[in-house]
């Protein structure tokens, strides 16, 4: 099954681990301003469908999987137009901000170590069981 979204990590900003500790993973498209790149994973999109993901769909980051719990009203527009995503690992059913994509809580402890250039991030329809 073709993914809803597929992208490849190019660079990891020096502040990404700190944001992950707080439950946030921020993506910006390669070529973003340096001040944004410091806190973000820079990526190159391989595939993106026009329709946004839905609660129940699954974000895969390397071998880790996280179920989406909510998608903000502006989140997919940001992804499509400027390559920017804010993933929040809080389990919320309603995003605090319109640009957030909320995921099940927890499981980010090992992500900082596994995020590196070449790792793929994919969102697929909710067919896979999360393995956190």
pLDDT in tens, 64-83: 999 999 999 999 999 999 99
Q: What is the pLDDT of residue 112?
A: 86
Residue 47 Rama label (left phi>0; alpha psi -120 to 50; beta): beta
Q: What is the pLDDT of residue 107?
A: 85
Q: What is the pLDDT of residue 128?
A: 53
CA 74 from centre of chain: 14
Q: Model's pTM, two decimal places?
A: 0.93
Average of per-residue pLDDT across 25-46? 95
CA 28 from centre of chain: 10
Q: How confident is the model at residue 127 (pLDDT cuts 50, 70, 90)?
A: low
Share of the chain above pLDDT 70, in %: 95
Could you tell me which residue, 108 or 99, shows the higher pLDDT? Answer: 99
> Cα-flanking dihedrals φ and ψ of residue 2, to 5°?
-70, 135
Q: What is the pLDDT of residue 5?
A: 98
- Element counts in the chain: helices (H) and strands (E): 4, 8
pLDDT reading at 113 higher than 70: yes
Q: Give the active site residues.
A: 43
Which domains can be identified in the chain, with CATH numbers?
Answer: 5-124 (2.40.33.40)
Given the structure tokens 């909710």, which residue do they identify? 126
């Amino acid at each position: 099954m073709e993914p809803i979204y597929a992208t490849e990590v190019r660079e990891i900003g020096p502040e990404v681990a700190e944001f992950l500790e707080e439950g946030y993973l921020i993506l910006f498209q390669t070529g973003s301003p340096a001040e944004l790149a410091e806190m973000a994973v820079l990526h190159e999109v391989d595939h993106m469908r026009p329709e946004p993901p839905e609660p129940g769909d699954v974000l895969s980051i390397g071998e880790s999987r996280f179920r989406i719990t909510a998608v903000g009203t502006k989140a997919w527009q940001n992804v499509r137009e400027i390559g920017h995503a804010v993933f929040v690992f809080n389990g919320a059913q309603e995003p605090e901000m319109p640009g957030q994509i909320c995921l099940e809580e927890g499981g980010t402890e090992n992500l900082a170590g596994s995020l590196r250039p070449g790792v793929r991030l994919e969102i697929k329809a909710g067919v896979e069981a999360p393995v956190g």
